[in-house]
Amino acid sequence: MKKISIISGGSGGLGLSIAELLVESGKDVLILGRNIEKLTRAARKLSRISKGAHVSTLVCNIGNEGDVSNTGKFLKDHKIVTEYLFNNAGRGQFSPAIASTSEMIDNVFEANLKGMILLTSEILKITPEKVELTIINIMSTSALLGRDQETIYCASKWGARGYTEALRTELKGTKRNIIAVYPGGMKTDFYNVTGQNRDISGFMDPKEVAEKIVHAVLGPDKLVVTDITINRKK
């Protein structure tokens, strides 16, 4: 069976930077995203730098159980097993606590928590127990501390962190490795939220953050990194 690395939210930002490093190292990748045009552009870019690695794309809203099931079916039909799952997709919400609405909560939790759970569950279900699988849950430093104007966002990320810790405990002693990643702010489209006017000029370059993550994930087989916090130098 062929092995592949899956990156959710892989059509731009940190996800695309991770995909670039993976294909440069010879890893076949499958990038998931909601927008077919963005996925197509990303695939073209990855194919140009690929060193023999195969690049696949799939339209998938990871918060939609049907889409996630279709992803699992795609992998099974093509006899592909997942070697690395990068749970990278996410959505921000920056507003005062008193402005919270049901729609805001659903949108943020779907991308940041529900989607992570659904996709991880599907990959675990279809990956043979004898095959080693590494799951990389990319969250945020907002999963480690509370922040002003980020009540909903922090709640979703703290939930993702709780899920990650519980998953690690449940899968202890199996061929499943769980890596938690907590990056600080990056210069991506993530902050292009309606009403936001945030200066991100001093934030981290997603390519440099991706290098830290991929270097740790693809490190020596005898060593396992469990938690990574990435911040910019003061």
SS3 category, 6: strand
Identify which of 92, 34, 39, 19 has the alpha carbon closest to the alpha carbon of residue 67.
Answer: 34
SS3 category, 163: helix
Q: Which residues contact 20 (CB under 8 A, 6 or more apart)?
A: 45, 46, 49, 207, 210
Looking at residue 197, its amino acid is N
Q: What is the distance between the terminal CA atoms of the chain, rounded to a whole angstrom?
A: 46
> Cα separation of 87 and 44, whole Å?
22
Identify which of 49, 2, 51 has the alpha carbon closest to the alpha carbon of residue 30.
Answer: 2
Active-site positions?
153
* Segment (H or E) for 69: helix 65-77
The position carrying tokens 């010879």 is 26
